[in-house]
Amino acid sequence: MIWARKPIKRPASNYAAFAFAKAQLLASNLRAMRFRSFDLKAALQSENACRAEKESVGDYLDEELVLEHEISLESSGPHVLKVSESSAQAEPGSSPPHLTARQRRNRRKTELKRERRREGARQRDEHVEIAGYALACAQEARPYSLDDFDAASLPISNPGWVGKGDLPKEDLSSIKNLRLFNWKGRDTVAFLDRKDRLWALLGAPPPRAKDWEEVNDGLVEAFQKYDQSSTFSKEDMQNRRSGGEYGLRDEGISFAGGKTRPGNIAVRGIKNRAALKAFSENRYLGRVLGHTGRLYCTFANKLARESRRVFGELQDKFPEIRLPSHPSIGGNYWAARCLNSAGRAKSARVITKAHADYGNWAPNWCCVTAVGKFDPDKGGHLVFWNVGLAIRFPPGCSVLFPSALVTHSNMPIQPGETRYSIVQYSPGGLFRWVYNGHMTDEDFFSSASEEDLRRWSEDKAGRWKDGLRLFTKWQELLKGDYKGEELGDLSELSELEEDLERPAKRRRK
């Protein structure tokens, strides 16, 4: 176990001093856990090879979802307001006639302050930046080392867009004596590989949010109303991940092999669209989405910036496509969201069997938030099979990790308990489509020149390297370089070439 602490210079200004004081209070809630034998490089290489082999025969490993432009939805469905439309309906200057002049002035001042805060948030979202106190917290983190895992062993397909698939059953059966990581959900824990790459995050609730239990309870109630207002088909209740019967529904944008272009994920039925809209407007969901977005932007900033770049190109090409609703304008960092609920079952017992979400963008983090009323000491643990780790996963907490590369599942809960989950993710097909110049692989091959094909083959072979460069280095975060701009691509490339020439040595026991 290695502990390290890096001091922070005390800022001069009063505002900065206030942010500094908050950072000191928050710093104790962040830890880093290092897996020195975890080889992220080998994982991406392996996934890359499998993906190329599959796609060479036209077999795509993407998730198949029905898109809106492929079916005829009921025209009488409720109109889902865009953020710009909903904000335009509420005029900040309008005040009820019964207010006095002083009350109107005070109200206007409050609205101006809120607008300044919103504008600051919009500016940070536009540039994918984080607040100063969040960075200071990361700089005061206490790294915790573990020497038995290498992130480069994670499986990635050959083209590097998505995951390779689940671990074979024989590999799962060979993993015995899972180690328990007894996460209390009070500290935010960073998982590091032997090259200092931050590859997963256990996200605790915001340290200043003393009412987070109320957030969890409010989401449980919202899920119950959502189930009562929705209908679920047999297909909605079963999928390859299911470890039991529960309902799942996706929203957002997607694209997979066999599709002609990206589009909005279709939600069939007027009642279902209305129920999904009501759930998406829940204020407790908004708090969870805001918090998980900040975690992602802070600890995986390069991944967040690449995601926002791709989403921007998609929306420029197809203005009608919609990212999942989010409380902050431009604050969404994932292309799609999946709600796992009771559905037609008598109670919500969301349990998944061992699987990898290989249709997701390979290096990217997905975000899983557990919601419900269950005892996390007796069930609901998240299992990372690649590392043989069972993680205590309390309700109200979130875990961010590359779900396309890590085979994972969660353990059953006790009778009479309930467990829901909210999953945020980005399909890898969207990134492949943008890279091809806004076209499918088939369209690209039919129109590409010899030079284009040569470059495509070179990029395909080395895409796993590009994925590695998008992972945040822990030392970058400690230095305040959370965007990874100071080290640059050359230092990372030289390290990658060194990895290729000299295999990693295992530490002696």
pLDDT, tens digit (0-9, with 9 covering 90-100), for 275-308: 999 999 999 999 999 999 989 999 999 999 999 9
Model confidence at 266: pLDDT above 70 = yes
Of 294 and 163, which is predicted with more confidence?
294
Residue 404: closest CA among 138, 164, 52: 164
Q: How far is it, in rounded angstroms, from Cα 174 to Cα 150?
A: 18
Q: What are phi and psi of 167, to 5 degrees?
A: -65, 140
Q: Is there a domain that residue 5 lies in?
A: no
Q: Is there a domain that residue 79 lies in?
A: yes
Q: DSSP string covering 388-446, please?
A: TEEE---TT-EEEE-TTTS-EEE----TT-EEEEEEEE-BHHHHHHHHTTSS-HHHHHH
Q: Is there a domain that residue 6 lies in?
A: no
Of 170 and 391, which is predicted with more confidence?
391
Q: Is there a domain that residue 383 lies in?
A: yes
Domains identified in the chain, total number: 1
Q: What is the pLDDT of residue 327?
A: 78
Of 198 and 6, which is predicted with more confidence?
198
Model confidence at 506: pLDDT above 80 = no
Residue 156, both tokens? 């990635």
Q: How confident is the model at residue 347 (pLDDT cuts 50, 70, 90)?
A: confident
Q: What is the mean pLDDT of residues 264-275?
A: 93
Q: How confident is the model at residue 90 (pLDDT cuts 50, 70, 90)?
A: very low
Q: Is there a domain that residue 2 lies in?
A: no
Residue 221 domain boundaries: 14-501
Model confidence at 104: pLDDT above 60 = yes
H/E run at residue 489: helix 488-501
Average pLDDT, the chain: 76
Q: How confident is the model at residue 341 (pLDDT cuts 50, 70, 90)?
A: very high
Residue 192: closest CA among 41, 40, 305: 40
Model confidence at 86: pLDDT above 80 = no
Residue 128, both tokens? 């994918």
Q: Each residue of 32-48: pLDDT tens digit?
A: 777 776 777 777 777 77
Q: In degrees, to the nearest 5, what angle opens at C-alpha 227 toward C-alphas 65 and 359?
A: 25
Model confidence at 11: pLDDT above 70 = no
Q: What are phi and psi of 381, to 5 degrees?
A: -60, 145
Full-model pTM = 0.76
Of 196 and 127, which is predicted with more confidence?
196
Q: Each residue of 124-158: pLDDT tens digit?
A: 555 666 556 456 555 544 454 555 555 555 555 55
Of 346 and 312, which is predicted with more confidence?
312
- Residue carrying the six token digits 């599942």: 409
Q: What is the mean pLDDT of residues 229-240?
A: 83
- Residue carrying the six token digits 């932007």: 297
Q: How far is it, in rounded angstroms, from Cα 51 to Cα 61?
A: 8
Q: What is the mean pLDDT of residues 175-183?
A: 80
Give strand pairing partners of 250: 338
HSE at residue 95, side-chain half, CA atoms within 13 A, is 16
40-55 and 450-469 helices, crossing angle to 10°: 150
Q: Is there a domain that residue 304 lies in?
A: yes
Residue 355: closest CA among 202, 212, 486, 242: 242
Most confident range, picked from 35-44, 58-67, 166-175, 185-194: 185-194
Q: Is there a domain that residue 506 lies in?
A: no
Q: What is the pLDDT of residue 21?
A: 42
Q: Is there a domain that residue 66 lies in?
A: yes
Q: How confident is the model at residue 119 (pLDDT cuts 50, 70, 90)?
A: low
Residue 173, both tokens? 């059966």
Q: How far is it, in rounded angstroms, from Cα 378 to Cα 194?
A: 32
Q: What is the mean pLDDT of residues 425-453?
A: 91
Of 248 and 74, which is predicted with more confidence?
248
Q: How confident is the model at residue 493 (pLDDT cuts 50, 70, 90)?
A: very low
Of 112 and 417, which is predicted with more confidence?
417
